[in-house]
């Protein structure tokens, strides 16, 4: 119970400070929109082509925009030695990590929810034909992205080239999760439900989430404290 | 003593390699469908084995470092990853040469090629991360965490990409592919010298890492004076 309360306290603190400054969310959202527009030059944005690559497109946008949020997650604590204060507070490392991951998760989901209709309007795609399953894929795959991203955010927080290092390290690890999400999202945006072979992708995301959440919780004390 | 051992091992590996290449070129007949180029498999497959053996060793070294905090494990971990990446590159490049002749293209986004490339990039990221951290114990700690995360994602990479269609020849040892026993003996026979070469390289890199640590310690001492 105490653990959960500590986790939510950290989440609330992170969300509050983010909502007051809006630095990560603003940057991330406008970046996502810029990429969405840039993609229209990369291929012929007719409905046929767009429908075929919709999943890949969306998840690339989410992954790019997500890294901006994740980069700030631990970097925000560097001024005034806030990270040291957090680590020396009576909150266990796992609660600190999960709290931060949850805050990032909420922010990422919010950005995705804004991007989806914009994408639908710009590319003339009916993305809401399978709302329940699309929500499921977003919820599961975003957690995978968040949990891995938050570990690497903690890992790279003290590095000189933090902004460059995080995407370089995190994208290869995210490939299985992103690939599964892309496959499923493409199917769902085309209007088909997840069935048959597609279920394997869903299982892959769930497995990815479980394994990397447990690894992250196990390793985070090592990363933060030593 | 160590130097003599390495030299002996090196000579043994060279002799074994020379003998294997001679047998490959003169004794083993051309493969029925692929012709002469198929001989590249005797380097291609053992290089992949060696590469993943190195990555596995780095996982064990990473765990051992976190358990004992002995910097020797960190030195070993970076040595095996560097050598593993070299053998991974051998695997990728020999594969591309083979693909150019048999498939007519250097690269295709087949699952085996793609997953090998991703694994290679994952471990290249490990080396990049190391470069960015100055403090030795901090570097060792982060590298150990990274080697554990990297190795955990390897099975995911393989399974996920496998579900895409494949045109790579079936695995000849554990899969459905068939291979003549003479060829198979050569495949394992050629793994031995490659393993010896890997061991020599790891041993040299390990010694260099230890020396580097001594130099760093001396430099710090000099600064204090």
Q: What is the per-residue pLDDT for B41? A: 85
Mutate which of A171, A175, A198 to test chain B, going by most B C-beta atoms within 10 A? A175
pLDDT tens profile A64-110: 999 999 998 999 899 899 999 999 999 999 999 999 999 999 999 99
Could you count the other beta carbons within 10 Å of the beta carbon of residue B46? 24
B31 strand-pairing partners = B35
Rounded to two decimals, the pTM is 0.87
**Residue B174 confidence (pLDDT):** 47
Mean pLDDT score across all residues of chain B: 86
pLDDT at B170: 57
Nearest to B160 among A168, A169, A176 (CB): A176
d(CA B173, CA A102): 45
| Residues in A touching B142 (Cβ below 8 Å) | 155, 223
Residue B23 has pLDDT above 50, yes or no: yes
Token output for A7: 């986790």
Check CB contact under 8 Å for B145 and A172.
no
Instruction: Taking residues B149-166, report their average pLDDT.
Output: 76
Place of tokens 């590298």: B143
Whether residues B129 and A207 touch (CB distance < 8 A) is answered with no
B128 and A165 within 8 Å at the Cβ level: the answer is yes
- What pLDDT shows up at residue B163? 67
State whether A172 and B125 contact (CB < 8 Å). yes
Which of A159, A200, A219 has its CB closest to that of B145? A219
Greater confidence, A73 or A45? A73
A46 falls in which pLDDT band (50, 70, 90)?
confident
Residue B167 binned pLDDT confidence (cut-offs 50, 70, 90): low
Query: What is the pLDDT at residue A194?
Result: 85
Cα–Cα distances (Å) from A40 to A34, A107, A121, B40, B167, in that order, read: 10, 25, 13, 44, 32
Count Cα neighbours of B73 within 13 Å in the Cβ-side half-sphere: 21
Mean pLDDT of A112-134: 88
B162 touches chain A (CB under 8 A): no
Residue B210 sits at the chain A interface (C-beta within 8 Å): no
In chain B, what residues touch A222 (CB-CB under 8 Å)? 66, 141, 144-145
SS3 assignment, position B110: coil
pLDDT confidence bin for B164, thresholds 50/70/90: low
pLDDT in the model for residue A199: 87
Residue A3's H or E segment, with its range, is helix A2-21
Helices (H) and strands (E) in chain B, counts: 6, 0
Confidence (pLDDT) at A218: 93
């Amino acid at each position: 119970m105490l653990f959960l309360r500590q986790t939510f306290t950290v989440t609330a603190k992170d969300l509050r400070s983010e909502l007051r400054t809006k630095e990560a969310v603003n940057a991330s959202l406008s970046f996502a929109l810029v990429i969405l527009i840039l993609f229209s030059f990369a291929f012929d944005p007719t409905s046929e082509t767009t429908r075929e690559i919709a999943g890949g497109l969306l998840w690339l946008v989410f992954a790019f925009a997500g890294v901006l949020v994740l980069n700030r997650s631990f970097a925000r604590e560097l001024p005034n030695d806030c990270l040291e204060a957090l680590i020396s507070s009576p909150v266990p490392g796992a609660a600190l990590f999960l709290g931060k991951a949850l805050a990032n998760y909420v922010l990422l989901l919010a950005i995705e929810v804004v991007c989806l209709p914009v994408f639908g309007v710009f590319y003339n795609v009916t993305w809401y034909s399978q709302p329940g399953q699309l929500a499921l894929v977003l919820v599961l795959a975003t957690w995978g992205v968040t949990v891995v991203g938050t570990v690497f955010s903690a890992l790279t927080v003290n590095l000189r080239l933090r902004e460059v290092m995080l995407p370089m390290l995190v994208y290869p690890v995210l490939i299985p999760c992103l690939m599964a999400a892309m496959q499923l999202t493409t199917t769902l945006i085309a209007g088909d439900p997840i069935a048959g072979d597609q279920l394997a992708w869903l299982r892959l995301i769930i497995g990815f989430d479980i394994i990397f959440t447990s690894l992250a919780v196990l390793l985070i004390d090592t990363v933060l404290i030593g | 003593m160590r130097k003599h051992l390495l030299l002996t091992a090196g000579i043994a590996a060279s002799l074994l390699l020379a003998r294997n290449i001679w047998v490959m070129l003169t004794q083993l007949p051309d493969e029925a469908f692929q012709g002469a180029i198929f001989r590249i498999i005797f380097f291609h497959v053992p290089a992949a084995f060696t590469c993943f053996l190195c990555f596995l060793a780095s996982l064990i070294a990473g765990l051992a470092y976190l358990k004992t905090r002995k910097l020797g494990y960190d030195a070993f971990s970076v040595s095996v990853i560097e050598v593993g990446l070299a053998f991974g590159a051998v695997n990728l490049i020999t594969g591309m040469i083979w693909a150019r002749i048999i498939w007519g293209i250097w690269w295709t986004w087949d699952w085996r090629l793609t997953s090998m490339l991703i694994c290679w990039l994952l471990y290249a990221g490990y080396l990049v991360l190391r470069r960015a951290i100055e403090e030795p114990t901090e570097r060792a700690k982060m590298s150990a965490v990274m080697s554990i995360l990297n190795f955990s994602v390897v099975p995911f990479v393989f399974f996920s990409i496998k579900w895409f269609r494949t045109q790579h020849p079936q695995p000849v040892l554990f899969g459905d592919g068939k291979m003549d026993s003479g060829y198979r003996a050569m495949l394992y026979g050629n793994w031995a010298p490659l393993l010896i070469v890997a061991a020599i390289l790891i041993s040299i890199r390990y010694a260099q890492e230890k020396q580097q640590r001594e130099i760093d310690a001396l430099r710090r001492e000099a600064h204090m004076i």
